[in-house]
Structure formats: C-alpha cells, structure tokens
Structure 1
Amino acid sequence: MTLDQLMAGCPLWRQTEQGRLIGVDGIPLSFGILRHPDARGAVVISNGRVESYLKYWPWVQWLHRQGFSVYLWDHRGQGLSGRMLSNPHIGHVERFDDYIEDMARFYQQKVLPDGHRHHYLLGHSMGGAIGALYLERHPDHFERALFTAPMFGIRLPVPRALIKPVSAVLTALKPHHYVPGGHDYDPVPFEANELTTDRREYEQFRQLYRDWPPLQLGDPSNQWLQQALRATERLGRAEIVTPLKILQAQQDTIVSNVAHHAFCQRQSQHQLHTLDGRHELLIEAQAVRKQVQRHLLEWFR
C-alpha cells in the first residue's frame, strides 16, 4: 500500500503539498501543507508525542472548509520524520530545544513565504509544550494560539521530587534506553485506553498505525523524559505575550491540569476552559469535538 492509497478516503489529500525539510543535526522532517485559495489565515498544527500529521487529517479538512490554509509537520523521532536510534520504536530527543528549532525552520521555510496576514497555532499535548516555548522565543510569529491538553506538566506515577534524581541517573547511564518498564509499540484495547471515550475515533487512530507501521512508536527514552521534565519546569516560569487559550480535559490522566491552572493564574491574560473527556480532545466524542471547534473559531476569528 502506498501513502496515496492509504489516504485515498481523504478528498483533499491530492491537493496537499508533501515533502521533507532538514531539521537540527540533519534529521529529515516530514510535512504536509493544504493551502486554501482564498485563505482567511494560516493554522499551524504542532502534534503530540507518538503522533503524525496523518492522524490530523479530519481536522485538516475541517479547517480547510472553514477557510484556513493548514500547515503540519512531524516532530523528529516520530511519525514520518527521521528517527535517531537503532530501535525506531523508542521515542527520543537529545534536546527539547531541537523541537523548537525544527519548528522555527518549518515556519521560516514553509509558512512565512506564503504571505498570510494571520498566523494561528494549534497544539496538542507535547505539541502544546513545544508551541508554548516557541511563542516565548518568537512572540511575533503567531497572532493567537489554542492548545488542547498541553503538556505543561506530566502526570507521574510517583512524586516529581523522586523521579528527577532517578531520571538523572538513568539518563547519565543509559540515555538511549527506554524509561523503566518501557516497550515497543503495543496498542491497548479501547476498554483500557486513557485517550478518548469515543470507540470509533480510537479505532480509526489505531487502524492508521496498523495500516502504516512506520508510524508506530513505543515509550520514551530516559533522555526524552529528562528533557520533558526540564521543559515543563521552564514552562512554569515562561512569560508568553501571544494570546493563548487552553482547553483541558476533565478526565486527563496523561498531563497535569494543575499545571494549566498555575500557568494561567500566573499570566491571567490567557484563557482556560475545561471540557468533559479524556486527554485526546481532538478525537473525543462528537459533542466534545464540536466544543473544540466552537472555541477554535471564536479564538481564531
């Protein structure tokens, strides 16, 4: 099966520019761009850990119908982008800042040259953390941003004060190994999943990874975890002037909702809304997805 055959059910796929650009340390980054002939603005999507821009195609088509051009790329070490370890299932990054620099290259080479008057940023989970740190560094690149369940804090099995020293030791000894208990891609059944209450959306997401095995990714490396912990600490101090709306999931067990509240209490100009559902609000039940759409259209007005 080719990628075109895989995406044959997406009417706008053949109008999409697909390609690769070179990220930090020569890692190739895959991207997709769907331009609108009379765009009201550009929406750049920063996806979450283990994800690919292919997963977002229903949202790409919806955004296009609303009059937006849509720009997506896969973060290094996942999706269709280059991976850095001999085991491609280990989610890895050397420096969290590499994600941010990769995003800057995508923005400069692919988004900015198209000359849109309005640039908006949509980020999910890890993509929200990357996006927030990007906004701190480049406050004039986006007019507004909306993040769903952003990774401003990670729900950990034990207190952070215990995790940090253990993570530091493991990273020093085995930076490219899985975190303790980590393993290759092994999808959990719907009944045990922590991502969505919508069976149809969940099965479609898993089917995509069955049909295209190169997308599959397992647990993170020790290095990734240490870098992610440091990134969330930075977000606890970050000063972001770009107007930001956060949509958090009431039943989230992946990222910390407490961190969202702390972030917005410290910077009260940003908005925070809680929606019923689990971590993956973009593939939650239809009623939840409609709320996300309403918030997005109001925010990216």
Structure 2
Amino acid sequence: MTDSILFSTPDNPVPENRTEGYFTTHDGHKLRYAIFRSSQPVTRGTVVLMHGRNEFIEKYFETIRELTERGLWVATFDLRGQGGSGRLLRHPNRGHVRQFSDYERDLEDFLEQVVLPDTRLPFYLVAHSTGALIALSAAPRLNGRIERMVLTAPFVGLTGQGASPRTIRLLANAFCAIGLGAFSLNRKFKDRPFSTNLLTSDETRFERNRAIAAARPDLALGPPSARWLQQAFLTIDRVSQPDHLFSIAIPTLLLAPTRDGIIPFAEQERLSRSFRAAQLVPIAGARHEVFQEKDVYRGAAMAAIHAFIPGSDAEASNEMVGAGL
C-alpha cells in the first residue's frame, strides 16, 4: 500500500493485511481508522481497540501484530481531536472535547459503520486509560454487541500532575464558567525524559514512541483544554457510581498497573468493588502504559487478555466454556 495514511518506521512497521481510511461521525468529523486482519486460518473474532489521550494507531502496531497472530482481527481508530483524526480547535495541539458523550457516539458510529459490516464476529473491546473511561461510560448500551471488555489503567482518578485533582477540577470549572473552556490550564506541555516519565519503565518502547511523535508532530497533542478536564471529571463521577456499574452486564477484565503514576491504583481497585461484572487483575510493578511496558509486565497483561478472550489462546477449551463465562 503505497499511499498509506499510517506512518511506518523500520523499528515500528505497519502490520500488513489491513484496510485503512476515515469514517464520518454523527456531527461531521472525520476520524482515521484501520482494520488489521489475521492471517490465521481460523478467525477468532475482532478486537475493537481504543486508545488513551494523546495516543494514535501507530503506537499500537506491536500489540496489534500480537493479537492478529492469535487469530483475532483488530479494528481501531484515533479519537476525535487527536492522532490522525480531525482536530476540534484552531490550536491543533490542544486536546479538546465538547462533551464526553461525543466520544461514546463516535464509538457507536465506528461499530455501526466499520466494525459490523467489515470485520468478523464476535466483538471484544480492549481499551486503555481515556479509552477505558469512554468504554465504561458507553458499556450499558453495548450489551449484546460486545462479548467481553478488557480495560487497562481505566481513567477513574488522577495523580502525578503537580496539583491536586481537586485543584485541577476547580480551575477547569472556573475556566469553563467564564467562557475559557477551550484554553489549557498549562501553557506548555512537559516533555519528560525517560528518567522521569510516568508511563513506562521500558526505555526502548518509550523512545520509539517519542521518535514517532517527533517525526510526525501532527499526531501528538499538548495539554488538554479546561473543557476536556471538566468533562472527564464529570464522566469519572458518573461511571464510578454503583448504579452505573451495576448496569454493566458485559464480562470485564480490569488490568491495573500497581505503579501507575497517572491513575492511582487505589482508584482502580475501588472501582472494581462495585463492578459486579468485572475482575481486577493487578499488574505488579507496571506503570501506566501496560502495552508499552517491559516484556515482563506487558507479557503478564497480554497473557491475561489471551486467557480472558475466548478463542484467542487454547482453541478447544475456550470454545467449550466461553459462552458460560
């Protein structure tokens, strides 16, 4: 594919056997997507992969390749306002959203326009951080369409920001109240070196992702807008309520890094207590981005996913018990 809209490098090549393009949201935004097909003779279903804030499809090539090698197709897209999808502000580097329900509607549009007609049943949802918050919020409406969910480091709390979550929330609300919701609370995004980063303990993967963002700055984001933060906190409050969690019937695996410097492990653990459909699996020693972590931590996360998603590991045994788990 010579005119690919995906960015390939020698140490991060684009997986083959794919379809890529754009789909249009309910309110007219164009979002970049890709479908990666497995070359295995038996297709085990499709993983819908949702990213965190300031992520893009290229960052997940390694994970996509591993999933397709297991017989799973992968369908993924860049969230509105980031990656290769349409930006929402004149300042393209500022992360912004009008309301978090727009993200949820985008997921539903993606399922209806791309996943359902162009991929293989059954459908599974694997979502990281902000993507996991979106999945949590949309989950009551996804029953019957998504067989199982895996949420890694779900965005249900905040730490490591130089200000308390309460202070950030108050400032975000104040900015929005005076009509400055499109502005960021921070003037400049801190590009941390590996030695002080909060995302991963794997230097090779950290530098690989940093190099992609440096080569393609149009894929990267700076700080979020005040409106984005306000809407995120409102969504966290809602999805953390027991009545919302009780309404989720999709069997769910929560993969929680115990050394997460972005989302407190305690908040992820607290979420699981009222989430009757979920099982919490701590990834001991891992930082926030488990798919970008050292092999020992990433391997633990991938092994948990392969054991949880029926058919992605042991074919016969999972086929026999998958429907009842």
Instruction: Verify same fold: TM over 0.5.
Output: yes
TM-score scaled by length of structure 2: 0.86
Q: Decide whether aligned partners of structure 1 residues 223 and 106 sit closer, same or farther in structure 2, where only a CA change above 3 A counts.
A: same
What is residue 279 of structure 1 aligned with on the other side? Answer: 288
Shift of residue 162, structure 1, vs aligned partner: 4.4
Q: 2 CA distance for matches of 1:209 and 1:8?
A: 12
Q: 1 CA distance for matches of 2:164 and 2:14?
A: 46
The answer to which of 268-277 and 243-252 deviates more is 268-277
Q: 2 CA distance for matches of 1:262 and 1:96?
A: 22
What is residue 130 of structure 2 aligned with on the other side? Answer: 126
Helix, strand or coil at the partner of 2:33: strand
Q: 1 CA distance for matches of 2:187 and 2:80?
A: 19
Gaps of 5+ in 1: none
Asked if 1:147 corresponds to 2:151, the answer is: yes
Quick check: 2:150–2:254 contact (8 Å CA) kept in 1?
A: yes
Shift of residue 15, structure 1, vs aligned partner: 2.2
Identity over aligned pairs, percent: 30
What is residue 211 of structure 2 aligned with on the other side? Answer: 207
What is residue 27 of structure 1 aligned with on the other side? Answer: 29
Q: 1 CA distance for matches of 2:168 and 2:8?
A: 41
Quick check: 1:182–1:220 contact (8 Å CA) kept in 2?
A: no
Gaps of 5+ in 2: 311-325
Helix, strand or coil at the partner of 1:69: strand
What is residue 264 of structure 1 aligned with on the other side? Answer: 272
Structure 1 residues 249-281: Cα deviation after superposition (integer angstroms, max 9, x where no partner) = 111121132222222111234110111211011
Code of the residue aligned with 1:42 in structure 2: it is T
Q: How does 1:131-280 map to 2 (within 5 A)?
A: 131-155=135-159, 157-173=162-178, 174-179=180-185, 181-184=186-189, 187-237=191-241, 238-239=244-245, 240-275=248-283, 276-280=285-289
Structure 1 residues 194-241: Cα deviation after superposition (integer angstroms, max 9, x where no partner) = 000110010011011112121121010000000000010111122311
Structure 1 residues 124-154: Cα deviation after superposition (integer angstroms, max 9, x where no partner) = 0001001111212222211101111010222
Structure 1 residues 23-48: Cα deviation after superposition (integer angstroms, max 9, x where no partner) = 24211100010123531110000000
Structure 1 residues 153-180: Cα deviation after superposition (integer angstroms, max 9, x where no partner) = 222655544443332111122111012x
Code of the residue aligned with 2:30 in structure 1: it is P
What is residue 52 of structure 2 aligned with on the other side? Answer: 48
Asked if 1:94 corresponds to 2:102, the answer is: no
Code of the residue aligned with 2:184 in structure 1: it is Y
TM-score scaled by length of structure 1: 0.93
